[in-house]
Structure 1
Amino acid sequence: MQHQGVCTRADMLRFRGEDEWFFEVTGYLQNWSVQAARDAIAADTDLLLPLVDDSDPTMRIAAAYALAAASARAQTIVSVFQTRLLCEDVPAVRAGLVLAIAQLARVHQNSNTVVWMQACWSDHVQPREVRVSAALGWMCLTDLPVPDELAALLDHLATHETAQLMAPLPWMRAAEHAAGNGLQRCLRTMLHPDTPDAEDRRDDPWS
Structure 2
Amino acid sequence: MQWTPGPGRCTREELLRVTDGGRRYEPSGYFGTWGIEAARDAIAADADLVMALLDDRDPQVRVAAAYAAVVASGRIDDIRGALHTRLRAEADPAVRAGLVLAIAQLAYEHADPAREAWAKALWSDPAMPPAVRVSAALGWLCLTDTPVPDVLCAVLDACATDETARLMEPLPWMRAADYGGDTGLRRCLRGLLRPESIEPQWDDPWSSPPALT
Structures share a fold, TM > 0.5? yes
User: Which of 32, 38, 41 is matched with 1:39 structurally?
Assistant: 41
Structure 1 residues not aligned, in runs of 5+:
none
Q: Which residue of 2 aligns with 1:62?
A: 64
Question: Is 1:123 matched up with 2:125?
Answer: yes
Q: Which residue of 1 aligns with 2:205?
A: none
Higher helix share: 1
Structure 2 residues not aligned, in runs of 5+:
203-207
Residue identity in the other structure for 1:131? R
Q: CA RMSD in A?
A: 2.0
Q: Which residue of 2 aligns with 1:10?
A: 13
2: distance between equivalents of 1:206 and 1:144?
Answer: 28
For the residue of structure 2 that corresponds to 1:175, the secondary structure is coil
Superposition misfits of 4+ residues, deviation over 3 angstroms: 202-207
Residue identity in the other structure for 1:163? A
Structure 2 contact 5–15 (Cα < 8 Å) conserved: no
Note the C-alpha offset of 1:57: 0.6
Q: Which residue of 2 aligns with 1:133?
A: 135
Change (3 A) 1:128 1:55: same
Change (3 A) 1:38 1:166: same
Structure 1 contact 16–31 (Cα < 8 Å) conserved: no
Change (3 A) 1:179 1:50: farther
Change (3 A) 1:127 1:205: closer
Identity %, equivalent residues = 52
For the residue of structure 1 that corresponds to 2:189, the secondary structure is helix
1: distance between equivalents of 2:181 and 2:89?
Answer: 30
TM value normalised by structure 2: 0.89
Query: More displaced, 76-85 or 184-193?
Result: 76-85
